[in-house]
Structures are given as structure tokens and as C-alpha cells.
Amino acid sequence: MSGGAGELPALLLALRLGDSGFPGGGFAFSWGLETALRDGRTDRRALGDWIGSEIDLRWVPFDAPALAGGWRASGAAALADWAARVDECHWAEAPRRASHEAGMALLTATAAMALPSAAALREAAATGRLRAHLPVMQGALWRAAGLDLPTALALSGLGAARGLASAAVRLGALGAIGAQALIAGLEPRIARAAAGPPPEGALPEGFPAVSDVALLRPAPDRLFVN
Amino acid sequence: MSGAARIGIGGPVGSGKTALIERMLEAFAADGTEVAVITNDLATDEDAERLRRGGRLAPERILAVQAGACPHTVIREDPTLNMAAADRLERQFPGLELILIESGGDNLASTFSLDLVDYWLFVIDVAGGDDIPRKRGPGVLQCDLLVINKTDLAPHVGVDFPAMLATAQAAREGRPVIASDCRRGAGVAEVIARLRRDVLFTAVAP
Ligand SMILES: Nc1nc2c(ncn2[C@@H]2O[C@H](COP(=O)(O)OP(=O)(O)O)[C@@H](O)[C@H]2O)c(=O)[nH]1
Ligand SMILES: [Mg+2]
């Protein structure tokens, strides 16, 4: 995105797909943050570390390779294979289910918008032929929409950071101004990971232990999906 | 129309949305209408649990969707999760005619996205004050059907109900307004008759 007017269509496409107003259901996921705040595992002051760890320990080692594989997969069978491998890489049921639910939501919205590939992916997922993990679906959908891989990764990483920050805002733990500073602080890490995409075939790994435990904790009165 | 008709039910917290749904489910159970419900409670599955306990509907026909602390967003700016839940219900129950989607409750500015619903009701109540229709909130003005519930409470809260109804009718410029008392079930048959006529297209000719 360095250059001149010729790159503006690509920039606009990325801005549109990555817009916080793009519907996809993501706003209702806190990825354990709601429970962690309630249990005192993090608080206002430690929030930056929590969200930073989610990027370093979940998004970089797990989501980014999952997305890259989804972006690279050519054809329905290859994509389903990759999604099944990503499915197996989840060590626990709660994050696996949440990732699938979030991916299914994205497919629901994008199919309604008639984005390229979305309807077919949604049908495959609804009939059990495809595990609709969120980063894998982002990779597949955004490639079909015309994004290159580094841009798709950047969108996903920034979306993860912004999603967590905005959940924190709605939970009353962060202000909208402070959220921007926090997200800006994460941009270099996201950019680094996006600029050097995971090698072909690299499997998702990683164990964001603290937030996964928060995801596993029963939370009867929760505002968020997780 | 493909699939089940999707009906939104909005209105302030406590106005009687769940109570209206409970009454409607009684009627639908009696006449065999195939129905399912999605609730958007703020922080619990309480409405869903209450409807399941009511026993008018198989528990698996009642889904709760979390609103991410934002009951506005989940029915308008980003109704994706409600759309996904409705899709799931349709797939699971192919004969479904009606999906009722209850908002978690919000202020008078809340409206349903037409990406999500085919038709929506807004439920206010007499005890909320007779000035509510005068405030001309988008919910009151734009809904397909305005329900003014808890008519039984009018004498207890000092509300001149006929005047409140007239104000609401004037604000709505001829679009439908129905008064109800969900405690006793009054007005519910009228609401259902409206849905039959305007949404299900199964009204019986007089
Ligand atoms: N007196 C009276 N109480 C009602 C009526 N409808 C609902 N309620 C009561 O009002 C309270 C809130 O109702 P609920 O259905 O939970 O409201 P919701 O938040 O809009 O779903 C409950 O205690 C109901 O029993 C009515 O028509 N008359
Ligand atoms: Mg309710």
C-alpha cells in the first residue's frame, strides 16, 4: 500500500472488507476477555498485556497459519482438508467451537451479501463438509474477493486486536481513545507477521493458556458468545 | 417467500415482549402453527429458559443469541448471529412457518434491520408512561405493528389509556396499533390475526 493512485482500488477493497462496520458477528465474541475480567485475571491496567498476548500467542502462531492455508488452498477439497487439519490443531473444545461459530457467522453474512465463494462455502459448512474455522474462512473469502495474502493477514490481525479492544470498551474496561493507542501499539507486530507469511503447510500451533482457560470457564451470565 | 417468516419483537426492557411471546405460543400450539423463537437477552438465557419452561414449544426450537453487550447492534448494525441462528432453525425444522426474534430490550430508538426480519413489532407498555408515543422514537414510528401492553395497569399508574392510544395512533398515521394485556391474554388474538394477514397470508376470509 505504498504507492500511488493505481493501488487505490486495492486499498478501498481492503478498507471495506476490514471495516469495523462490516457485519460478520465478530462483535459478540470476547475470546475469554469477559470471563477474565470478571474473574480478575486481568483488569484495566493489564488489559494491554492481555490483548498483546492474544496477538502474540493466539493470532500469530495459530490464526495466521490457519488463514494462510485457507488463502492458499485451491479447490473445495483442499480447503476442506485444511480446515479439518486446523480443527485437529485446537487443543480444547471451547476455542474450537467458538472459532467454528465465528466462521459460520462470517459465512452467513458474506453469503447474504453474495461475496464470491461465500454461498458455496456456507452450504458446505452447513452440511458438515467443511469446518468453518474463522481464520480459514477469512483466508478463503478474502482471496476470492481479491486480497493478496499479506493484506488478508493484516486485516485479520488488526480485526482481532480491534475486536478485543472493542469488547473491552463495551465491558467498561477501556475507553475508545485508549483503545486506539492500544491497537496502534500492536500494529508493528501484526505488520511483521503479515509481511512474512507463514511457510506453506505450516500448521497452527500455540497455546494461549490463560485465555483458553478463560474460554473454558463456565460463564452462565455472559454478555458475549465467549 | 422462501423459508419461515421472520418476525422481530422489540421494545424497552420489561414492556412484555416475552409475555406476549408466551401468549402467542399458546395460540400457535393450539392451531398447529410451526414456530421457533430466538431470544437476545442481555446477560442471560433467562427469556429462553422461561419459554422452555412454559412447555408450549420443544426446547430445541428456542435458541438464545448473545448480544455482545449491545442489543442494538445484534438486531440492526450487525444482525449476523441472529441470521445464522434463524438459518440453523430453518435447516433443522423444514416445516417452520414462523421465527420470532425477541430483542434483549432497548430504548425507543431501536429498530430491526430488514436484512434480519420480514416484519417487526414494537412493544411498549402503559406503565412506561403515556408520554412514550409522544416522544416519536423510531421504534414506535417505524415498526410494522405497535403493541401497547399492560392496559390492566392504566388505573394504577394514573394513565389515561384512551388518550395514550389516540396519541400513538396519531403518531403512527394510520399504521396499526394494538392494545394488549398479556396477563389475561387480551389483544393477543388481534396480534396473531395481523400476522396471519400481513405475514403468513393465511387469514381466513370472513
Ligand atoms: N400487569 C401486567 N404485567 C405484565 C403484562 N405483560 C407482562 N407483564 C409483566 O411485566 C414484567 C416484564 O415482562 P416481560 O415479558 O419479561 O418483559 P420483556 O422484558 O419485554 O420481555 C413481568 O413481570 C411480566 O409478568 C401485562 O399485560 N400486565
Ligand atoms: Mg424478555
Cell of A76: 473445495
pLDDT band, very low/low/confident/very high, at A217 (cuts 50, 70, 90): confident
Let me know: does B75 contact B83? Beta carbons within 8 Å. no
Residues of A in contact with B44 (CB under 8 A): 220-221
Residue B2 pLDDT: 66
Give residue-wise pLDDT tens across range A110-133.
999 999 999 999 999 999 999 999
Instruction: Inform me whether the pLDDT recorded for B23 exceeds 70.
Output: yes
Give residue-wise pLDDT tens across range A142-175.
999 999 999 999 999 999 999 999 999 999 999 9
Instruction: Inform me whether the pLDDT recorded for B100 exceeds 90.
Output: yes
Let me know: does B40 contact B82? Beta carbons within 8 Å. yes
Helix (H, G, I), strand (E, B) or coil at A183: helix
Smallest CA-to-CA distance from A202 within A139, A124, A125, A157 is with: A139
Listing DSSP states for A80-117 in one string gives HHHHHHHHHH-SSHHHHHHHHHHHHHHHHHHHHTT-TT
Q: Could you tell me the domains of chain B? A: 5-200 (3.40.50.300)
CA distance A127 to chain B (A): 10
Instruction: Inform me whether the pLDDT recorded for A219 exceeds 80.
Output: no
List of long-range contacts for A14-19, beta carbons under 8 Å, 24+ apart? A14/A147, A14/A151, A14/A154, A14/A155, A17/A142, A17/A145, A17/A147, A17/A155, A18/A155, A18/A158, A18/A159
- Which atom of ligand 1 is the closest one to the Cα of B150? 27
Q: Which residue matches cell numbers 396473531?
A: B192
d(CA A109, CA A151): 21
Which helix (H) or strand (E) segment is A78 a member of? helix A76-89
Give residue-wise pLDDT tens across range B50-61.
999 999 999 999
Instruction: Inform me whether the pLDDT recorded for A213 exceeds 70.
Output: yes
Average pLDDT over residues B28-39: 96
- Written as one letter, the residue type at B9 is I
Residue B39 pLDDT: 95
Instruction: Inform me whether the pLDDT recorded for B205 exceeds 70.
Output: no
pLDDT band, very low/low/confident/very high, at A11 (cuts 50, 70, 90): very high
d(CA B187, CA B193): 10
User: For B115, which of A112, A170, A220 is closest by C-beta distance?
Assistant: A112
d(CA B8, CA B99): 8
- Which atom of ligand 1 is the closest one to the Cα of B153? 1
d(CA B75, CA B98): 17
Instruction: Inform me whether the pLDDT recorded for A214 exceeds 90.
Output: no
Average pLDDT, chain B: 93
- Written as one letter, the residue type at B139 is G
Which are the contacts of A144, defined by CB distance < 8 A and separation ≥ 6? A115, A116, A117, A118
> Cβ separation of A109 and B42 shorter than 8 Å?
no
Pocket test residue of B15, B20, B46 for ligand 1, highest count of atoms within 8 A of CB: B15
ipTM: 0.92
pLDDT band, very low/low/confident/very high, at A5 (cuts 50, 70, 90): confident
Give residue-wise pLDDT tens across range B160-195.
999 999 999 999 999 999 999 999 999 999 999 999
